[in-house]
Each structure stands twice: as structure tokens, then as C-alpha cells.
């Protein structure tokens, strides 16, 4: 039995993984732009307005790495899906092959 054949579109899932990782890079670039804009803003604003914006920014800023890691985890989960599916489909194929062999052997003994 051909163990290279399975029921998922491996190419599409791998492409999705790459796409997700690219999005993560893009989000990193957006975070860098936000950091730059906030540092520029400090030169233009002061007082309560600056404090309000800075406090909101700091709440988001502390989660940058978590956000990026969560997105990367999606890509890793899809890659894991491919590995697990291959392993399981190969195991099932081997079980099926063994079943057919045993069935045919018993059938031949009965004839």
C-alpha cells in the first residue's frame, strides 16, 4: 500500500504554515512601527494626553511577544497535524494490510 498518500492536502497545510509565519513577521513590523510612533509622540505631547496614550501603549506592548508566540504556535500546530496524520495513516494502512493478509490466509485454509 502506498504510504505517501493521505487524506489531507499537505501542500495546502504547509503553505498555510508559511503564510501564518509571514503574518507573524508582518505583525512584528507593525509592532516596531507602533514603538517608533509612540517614541515620536513623546516629543509632541505632554501631560494627561501623553500619559493616557502611554499607559494604553504599555498594556499592549507587554503582550507583543505573547501575541507573536501564539501566532507561531498556530503554524507549529499545523505542522504537527501533518506529522501526526502521516503517522496515523501509515499505522492504519499497515493494520489494514495485515488484516487483508490474515483474511486471505484464513480464506485459503477454508477452501
Burial class (CB in 10 A: 0-12, 13-18, 19+), 101: exposed
Right CATH for 10-110 from 1.10.1470.10, 1.10.287.1060, 3.40.50.150, 2.40.50.140: 1.10.287.1060
Kindly list the domain boundaries of the chain, sorted by start residue: 10-110
Report the alpha-carbon distance of residue 16 to residue 104 in Å, rounded: 43
The answer, as to whether pTM is greater than 0.75, is no
Report the alpha-carbon distance of residue 45 to residue 56 in Å, rounded: 15
Residue-by-residue pLDDT tens, the chain, 111 positions = 444 555 678 888 889 999 999 999 999 999 999 999 999 988 888 899 889 999 999 999 999 999 999 999 989 998 888 888 877 776 777 778 888 888 888 777 777
Amino acid at each position: 500500500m502506498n504510504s505517501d498518500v493521505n487524506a489531507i492536502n499537505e501542500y495546502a497545510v504547509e503553505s498555510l504554515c508559511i503564510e501564518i509565519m509571514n503574518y507573524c513577521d508582518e505583525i512584528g513590523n507593525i509592532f516596531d512601527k507602533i514603538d517608533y510612533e509612540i517614541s515620536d509622540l513623546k516629543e509632541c505631547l505632554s501631560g494627561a494626553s501623553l500619559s493616557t496614550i502611554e499607559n494604553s501603549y504599555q498594556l499592549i506592548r507587554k503582550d507583543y511577544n505573547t501575541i507573536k508566540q501564539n501566532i507561531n504556535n498556530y503554524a507549529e500546530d499545523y505542522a504537527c497535524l501533518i506529522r501526526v496524520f502521516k503517522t496515523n495513516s501509515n499505522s492504519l494502512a499497515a493494520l489494514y494490510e495485515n488484516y487483508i493478509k490474515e483474511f486471505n490466509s484464513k480464506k485459503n485454509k477454508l477452501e
